[in-house]
Amino acid sequence: MSIKQEETHDEPKDSPVEASILSEGQADEADPEGAIEEAEARPEDERSNKIAALESELEMLRKEFTAVNDKYLRKLADDINFRKRMAREKEDGQRYAVSSLLGDLIPILDDFDRAIASAEIQKDYSVLHDGVLLIKRQLGSVLQSKYGLSRFESLGKPFDPHHHEAVAMVQGGPEDGEEAVVAEEFLPGYGLHDRVLRTAKVRVRMPAATRDAATEATAEANGTDTNAN
């Protein structure tokens, strides 16, 4: 073997890793612009991914907002319809509140028509009188039994400012007692269940004690002696 051949045989060979590094280095040296473009492309891809993620999140939020807005609009429409329905029912209730009462009064109007027609045919006052009394009793019975309207008697009763309104007074004698009493009833009083619907317009008879006290008070004010005579 020659010396030249031995030197060639002893020369070390490069490892695969070293060969790869050398090849990359050679590639970079061979194409430096491509490496720069690749490095610049990486941040662009990251920005594109972030934009895509944000757009996806925005689309999801838009869907959620649309769902919530639709739910709110439906709720608002339900509230508006409910208020309109309640207002309409209230208006109908006020407009037709007396429908039951009027339905009960219509037959009484029919009785009036029959009584008047009968009186015109017979030309008899007693027939009209009896018919009117009958209708009055019928009306009072309906109003009291179905609606709680009652007429309270005042004549001869002690004066009660909660039930009576004194429109006139008359002085009584010693035999009339010491309490103010209803002497005359001009208009009757009516009550609805446990409330006074209308006070009675009455004339009140004042007791003699009240009259004497008033006379003495007047005399004292005038400086006269009531026992002078």
Cβ atoms of 174 and 208 within 8 Å: the answer is yes
Residue 52: CB atoms within 10 A of its CB come to: 10
Task: Spell out the per-residue pLDDT of the chain, length 229, in tens.
Answer: 444 444 444 444 444 444 444 454 554 454 555 555 555 556 777 888 888 888 888 999 999 999 999 999 999 999 999 999 999 999 888 888 888 888 989 998 998 888 888 888 877 788 888 888 999 999 999 999 989 999 998 998 999 999 999 999 998 766 667 789 999 999 999 999 989 999 999 999 988 765 454 455 445 555 544 444 3
- Beta strand pairing call for 164-171 and 200-206: parallel
Q: Report the SS3 class of residue 166.
A: strand
C-alpha to C-alpha distances, 86 to 80, 83, 99, 149, nearest whole angstrom: 10, 5, 20, 30
pTM exceeds 0.85: no
Cα separation, 160 vs 1, whole angstroms: 156
**How many separate helices (H) and strands (E) can be counted in the chain?**
6, 6
Cα separation, 130 vs 55, whole angstroms: 94
- Beta strand pairing call for 195-198 and 189-192: antiparallel
Residue 202: CB atoms within 10 A of its CB come to: 27
Cα separation, 96 vs 106, whole angstroms: 15
